[in-house]
A = this chain, B = another copy of it.
Amino acid sequence: MKAAYILDGQVSVGEVPDPIPQQGQVLVRTHSCGLCASEAHFLQSGEQVVGLCQKHGGPYAGLDLSRPFVPGHEYVGEVIDYGPNSKKPIRIGRKVTSVPIMRQAGAHSVIGFNNDCPGGFGEYMLLDEDMVIEVPSGLDDDLAAMTEPLAVGLEHARRGLPTNEDTPLVIGCGAIGLGVIVGLKLKGIGPIVAADFHAGRRKAALKMGADIVIDPREMSPYEPIHDLGGRQVNLVYECAGVPGLLQQIIQSVRFDGRIVMGGYCMEPEQILTFSAQNKRLTVYFAGGEEPQDMTLALNTIADGKIDIGSWIGAKIGLGGIAQALAEMSGPEAAIRTVVDPRKF
């Protein structure tokens, strides 16, 4: 099949082996797949990520960077076939998405970051039949492809155990931070404060349901907020992945604050536990979504409750991936570029 693959830190488009479904696997023709910052990260620092996982444990320990792998983990596709003796939970021709996890030989592989589980930047994929969820008929492919990135934010949102007593602050309004805002809004938590350096991201945060947006260069989000009757944030979502930010939050948040660490940092972080103890802080380390988050994300998108279409910028084919990965950061970048892997 045709696919965009990464080999030795380069993106290429070409032929890779057709995936052949085994028992318990669904063969899917991919319709749309979002481009995530983690793909750019693997392209630039794949060895570091794999090395960390090999040394300290983690889902990418088995990825061999000297062999090609097809990325893409924010996918929607059409069911084409099943492996022999499968349960076939969803009918041929229906569209599906899933948590990008494939159970293989008792372990979990991450689809799109594994040499044997190609992701959504190829014509075909294999999914785990126990993980797939059906996309409602009539829902646009590109909107459905936003299910996974939205689900990550929904997981982070609930990870902080938010209550009506909380005043949350979301730092970083990329896809993950925006998903956290959606997740908090769905739970009726608020007012929600969001902070980002970029005006476009702050605008997106308001669209997703933030009540107050802050440019951290202009004011501290940790002080009592006049427009909220003097309320002060106490539940901080780190969705930026900026080295040193965790300690800055520890330093700045109020007594009894809670922090959800969502942004990934590959280097060890220095934290002053003395400060965190004096303030009785709690840090929840957040990872990725679970099936319940995928279901909620898909339902939320399908119900039209949020304007997820506003996340989507350019729509490209396989041939545009390399350039899009190079240009994906920056204040003017769209939240998501989507790839139609049926096109070049």
Contact = CB atoms under 8 A, between A and B. Distances in A.
Given A56-B251, A251-B56, A280 B274 contact: no
A282 interface: yes
Interface size class of A (residues with CB under 8 A): 35 or more
A273 B251 contact: no
Classify the interface of chain A: helix, strand, loop or mixed.
mixed
A286 interface: yes
Contacts of A59: 278
Number of copies: 2
B285 A279 contact: yes
Interface stretch (A190-198, A209-217, A260-268, A324-332): A260-268
Given A56-B251, A251-B56, A274 B264 contact: yes
B261 A273 contact: yes
A23 to B, nearest CB: 27
A56 B272 contact: yes
10 contacts: A57-B278, A265-B273, A265-B274, A268-B272, A269-B270, A276-B285, A277-B285, A277-B286, A283-B283, A283-B285
Given A56-B251, A57-B279, A265-B273, 5 more contacts: A261-B276, A279-B285, A279-B287, A282-B285, A283-B285
